[in-house]
């Protein structure tokens, strides 16, 4: 008789770290490969489902599915964003899980912690963009925002631009800047870190690479601080004045069509009639596949905005699962040992 046991692997964040999955090079390689698969229509990418529980606070849980047809894997990211958590409960505002299923029999393969893959994806996309769009001789990077995304972004930027040797950071409080420096400086010992005591101009002016990763909704980055030749990676919502995008020679998105439906600076500009489809140079996959060139001169100012592509999250989660599995890391859990009516003791378990 066929076995009706169904099992999957459970991976906590600690399992993923133990298995060496905190690897931004791996994340970037996977993201690039998956963007090409997407361009060649080998990815299913339906709309995400959003459930907002408090329209003012924006407490929400989103469900983001995608299928990687080459890998025969369907996955979903289940992500909670509760912006008030840090202030109200002194806990993080984000938690996430992935479920990965194979699509031959449709059975689950893995259930895993999701913030690591998700935050690595954001950074990986910024890193890939920088690889194509930042000057090769970039030495300085400036940040407005010193949270989780900013930290990951710095690591990814250093992978693609190892010549970076100076990092300046501005956050809402000097204490956050110091925390950023305390956590990142041991990981990047060849870089010089400077906190700016919340003065954004000091972080951004003359930087070769500029990153905004804030929870603010305000035009924090001023156009005059972005020098010719600079590359700007925009991660949060509304964080830069409109003139920043207007002065850039190239604007690249992870997916412009998605950007038009969101609330980022570029989305606002589109809705206000200040930007149109023709103003967007490319989606990132077009640079990765070589269909369009990236940076073409040393003096171009270039703007990159990513809103997040769940199929890349799923691909990174799958790569993590494979790496963990090859080291036998993770817990094997049974979804069921057999079919309900095959249980020998079903008569004593059923309530009629």
Ligand X SMILES: NC(=O)c1ccc[n+]([C@@H]2O[C@H](COP(=O)([O-])OP(=O)(O)OC[C@H]3O[C@@H](n4cnc5c(N)ncnc54)[C@H](O)[C@@H]3O)[C@@H](O)[C@H]2O)c1
Chain residues in the site for ligand X (CB under 6 A)? 122, 144-150, 170-172, 176, 213-216, 218, 220, 235-237, 306-308
CA 71, CA 78: separation in Å to the nearest integer? Answer: 21
Give Cβ neighbours of residue 39 (< 8 Å, ≥ 6 apart).
Answer: 285, 286, 289, 291
**For ligand X, the closer CB: 138 or 196:** 196
**For ligand X, the closer CB: 138 or 149:** 149
Least distance in angstroms from the C-beta of 96 to ligand X: 10
**For ligand X, the closer CB: 129 or 159:** 129
Least distance in angstroms from the C-beta of 146 to ligand X: 4
Based on C-alpha coordinates, what's the Rg of the chain? 22
**For ligand X, the closer CB: 50 or 340:** 50
**For ligand X, the closer CB: 12 or 85:** 85
Let me know how long the chain is: 352
Counting Cβ atoms within 10 Å, is residue 94 exposed (0-12), middle (13-18) or buried (19+)? middle
**For ligand X, the closer CB: 144 or 316:** 144
**For ligand X, the closer CB: 259 or 287:** 259
Q: Which of 294, 235, 230, 228 is nearest to 262 (CA)?
A: 235
Least distance in angstroms from the C-beta of 300 to ligand X: 22
**For ligand X, the closer CB: 6 or 94:** 94
Least distance in angstroms from the C-beta of 166 to ligand X: 19
Ranked by CB distance to ligand X, the top (closest) residue is 147
Q: Which of 182, 262, 169 is nearest to 214 (CA)?
A: 169
Least distance in angstroms from the C-beta of 187 to ligand X: 17
Least distance in angstroms from the C-beta of 334 to ligand X: 34
**For ligand X, the closer CB: 154 or 164:** 154
Least distance in angstroms from the C-beta of 1 to ligand X: 48
Query: Which neighbouring-strand residues pair with 61?
Result: 51, 80
Cβ-contact 221, 158 below 8 angstroms: no
Chain centre distance of CA 347? 50
Least distance in angstroms from the C-beta of 218 to ligand X: 6
Query: Which neighbouring-strand residues pair with 231?
Result: 209, 302
Least distance in angstroms from the C-beta of 270 to ligand X: 16
> Could you tell me the sign of the dihedral formed by the alpha carbons of 24, 101, 310, 53, in that order?
negative
């Amino acid at each position: 008789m066929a076995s009706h046991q169904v099992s999957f692997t459970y991976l906590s964040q600690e399992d993923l770290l133990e298995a060496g999955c905190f690897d931004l090079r791996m994340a970037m390689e996977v993201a690039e490969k998956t963007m090409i698969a997407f361009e060649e229509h080998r990815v299913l990418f339906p709309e995400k489902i959003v459930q907002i529980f408090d329209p003012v606070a924006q407490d929400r849980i989103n469900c983001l599915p995608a299928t990687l047809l080459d890998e025969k894997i369907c996955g979903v990211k289940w992500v909670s964003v509760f912006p008030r958590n840090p202030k109200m409960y002194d806990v993080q505002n984000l938690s996430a899980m992935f479920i990965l299923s194979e699509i031959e029999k449709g059975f689950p393969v893995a259930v895993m912690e999701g913030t690591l893959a998700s935050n690595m994806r954001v950074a990986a996309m910024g890193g890939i963009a920088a690889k194509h769009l930042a000057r090769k001789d970039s030495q300085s990077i400036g940040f407005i925002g010193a949270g989780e995304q900013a930290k990951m972004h710095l690591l990814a930027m250093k992978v693609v631009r190892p010549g970076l040797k100076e990092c300046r950071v501005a956050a809402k409080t000097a204490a956050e800047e110091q925390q950023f420096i305390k956590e990142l400086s041991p990981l990047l010992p060849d870089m010089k870190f400077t906190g700016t005591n919340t003065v954004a101009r000091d972080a951004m002016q003359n930087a070769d690479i500029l990153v905004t990763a804030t929870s603010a909704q305000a035009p924090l980055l001023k156009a005059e601080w972005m020098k010719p030749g600079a590359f700007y990676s925009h991660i949060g919502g509304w964080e830069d004045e409109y003139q920043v995008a207007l002065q850039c020679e190239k604007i690249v998105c992870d997916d412009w069509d998605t950007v038009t439906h969101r609330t980022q600076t570029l989305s606002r500009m589109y809705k206000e009639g200040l930007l149109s489809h023709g103003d967007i140079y490319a989606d990132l996959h077009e640079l990765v596949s070589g269909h369009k060139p990236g940076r073409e001169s040393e003096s171009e100012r270039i703007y990159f905005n990513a809103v997040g592509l769940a199929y890349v999250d799923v691909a990174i989660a799958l790569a993590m699962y494979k790496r963990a599995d090859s080291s036998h890391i993770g817990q094997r859990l049974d979804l069921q040992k057999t079919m309900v009516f095959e249980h020998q003791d079903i008569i004593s378990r059923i309530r009629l």
